[in-house]
Amino acid sequence: MKRLLLSLFLVVGLLFAQPEPEFDVPFIQFDEIDTVITLDSLVVIEVWAYWNQENAVDLQMLRDTLGAAIYRIDIELNPQLVKLYGIRYVPTILVFVSGELADKLEADYTLQMKQEQKQIQEQIQEQIQE
């Protein structure tokens, strides 16, 4: 009986366990935003949710091509973002240039980004040049 219960717990645990996200983008908390946006001239923060990780944006290209500092923040752990930045959908990308919010790129109602990766990069490059 014990063996059956242990097996059952193991199976249930495997079915409902959520794997850790495999990102090398550092996560920040709400109280760190003011600090990180002043560390570099171009800072990109992806507002993210674990339950929508399949729609996460690959921001590595921004780091590689534009030298942007990239961060990710979990909306569920930092609900203050909703009111402060008017977040309606995730993912949302916040672009800070010289410490100021320069652009906000949002997903649509399907929770997928409206723009393709290349369009995101081009839009951020325009913000840098302004």
Structural contact between residues 59 and 26, judged by C-beta atoms closer than 8 angstroms = no
Q: What is the pLDDT of residue 8?
A: 45
- pLDDT band of residue 3 (cuts 50, 70, 90) is low
Rounded-to-integer distance, Cα 32 and Cα 75, Å = 14
Q: Which CATH number fits domain 23-129: 3.60.20.10, 3.30.70.330, 3.40.30.10, 3.40.50.1820?
A: 3.40.30.10
Structural contact between residues 58 and 75, judged by C-beta atoms closer than 8 angstroms = no
Tens digits of per-residue pLDDT, 74-110? 999 999 999 999 999 999 999 999 999 999 999 888 8
Q: What is the pTM of this model?
A: 0.75
